[in-house]
Amino acid sequence: MPSKRRIRWAVLPVGIATAAVLAGCTPTELNGYLPGFVEDGPAATDKTEMVSGLWVNSWIVLLAVGVITWGLMGWAAIAYRRRKGQMGLPVQLRYNMPIEIFYTIVPLILVIGFFAFTARDQAILETQYEDPDVEITAIGKQWSWDFQYNGESDDDTVWSMGVQAQTDERGDVISELPTLVLPVDQSVKIKLQSRDVIHSFWIIDFLYKKDMYIGKDNYWSFTPTREGTYAGKCAELCGEYHSMMLFNVDVVSEAEYEDYLDSLRDAGQTGDIDDAYDRLQNLPGTGAGTEASEEEGDH
């Protein structure tokens, strides 16, 4: 039997080689090729790495289980194959207690482990900020988005109202998408509401999404940590034009964020957005929603 010293010397090169390979990986590769990561900057939010860590580590464990299982299957197929000259069935065994205990206990440990780590991370991800720097209400509607930036009073509260994406014959988006603007490195709490059916608020690079219901408000708290433009969409099939329910997220500096709020205030888009909301403003499948809304107002 090899000594512990020899085993250490055998394992050491493997560890060094593994560390060298991982050191050469980009952040995208280390995080399982998930979106939200760049080579020369932080993750998209303060919670993004937690989500990717749970995902990548789960796959590593599952891959290890798969390799062991495939290896045992291959070994059994070779070791117990029918040899030349053999006839009939091999010796049949009713049970093997050690093996049955093994394949009962190990999956149980895996399930408990996955549950424990998922519950731990979910508890952190679902903890809402009590006093965030920014409070926003995101409203899903068939088939677009409205965003209200809540202030201490109606004069401080501003909003933007979106219309669903319009596409050309090739399916390329040719219209301006609703845009949610967030300040970088500021804590954000988003209140999620629906105007009609169930929607799902998904910012792809943030690696998280939450459903939006009638009669039940959901919340999502996080801190964006990298400036840039990110794609968002509805992740819940919500009707005929679900695929056009797109939006963008602009993470900007605090000064740019305040300038944006001022531009909404200068445009008269203040107070509660429900007071200004008009269903005709978002007519499905057309680019003439605004014109139709104005004509209806004239009548």
Read off the pLDDT of residues 116-163 as tens digits, 9 standing for 90 and up: 999 999 999 999 999 999 999 999 998 999 999 998 887 889 999 998
pLDDT of residue 293: 42
Mean pLDDT of 195-206: 95
Q: How distant is the alpha carbon of residue 174 from its chain centre? A: 26
H or E stretch covering 267? none
CA 271 → CA 40, 156, 189, 268, distances in Å? 40, 8, 19, 9
User: Which residue has better confidence, 6 or 109?
Assistant: 109
Is it the case that residue 185 has pLDDT exceeding 80?
A: yes
Structural domains of the chain in order of their starting residue, each with its CATH number: 4-83+91-125 (1.10.287), 134-282 (2.60.40.420)
Q: For residue 172, what pLDDT band results from cuts at 50, 70 and 90?
A: confident
Cβ(188)–Cβ(133) below 8 Å: yes
Residue showing tokens 């209400």: 137
| Residues comprising the chain, all counted | 299
Read off the pLDDT of residues 86-103 as tens digits, 9 standing for 90 and up: 888 878 878 889 889 988
Residue showing tokens 């590593």: 60
Cβ(200)–Cβ(212) below 8 Å: yes
CA 209 → CA 106, 160, 212, 236, distances in Å? 32, 21, 10, 10
Cβ(238)–Cβ(225) below 8 Å: no
For residue 8, report the phi and psi dihedrals to the nearest 5 degrees: -60, -45
Residue showing tokens 């005929």: 240
pLDDT averaged over every residue in the chain? 86
Read off the pLDDT of residues 10-20 as tens digits, 9 standing for 90 and up: 555 655 555 54
Read off the pLDDT of residues 38-96 as tens digits, 9 standing for 90 and up: 888 899 999 999 999 999 999 999 999 999 999 999 998 998 888 888 888 878 878 88
Is it the case that residue 21 has pLDDT exceeding 60?
A: no
Is it the case that residue 221 has pLDDT exceeding 50?
A: yes
Read off the pLDDT of residues 230-249 as tens digits, 9 standing for 90 and up: 999 999 999 989 999 999 99
- The alpha carbon torsion through 190, 196, 197, 198 (nearest 10 deg) reads 10
pLDDT of residue 299: 42
User: Which residue has better confidence, 218 or 86?
Assistant: 218
Q: In the chain, pLDDT over 70 holds for what percent of residues?
A: 87
What Rg, from alpha-carbon coordinates, does the chain have? 27
Rounded to the nearest 5 degrees, what angle is found at the Cα of 184, between the Cα atoms of 182 and 190?
40
pLDDT of residue 19: 52
Q: For residue 220, what pLDDT band results from cuts at 50, 70 and 90?
A: very high
Structure tokens at 61: 């464990």
CA distance 93 to 53: 43
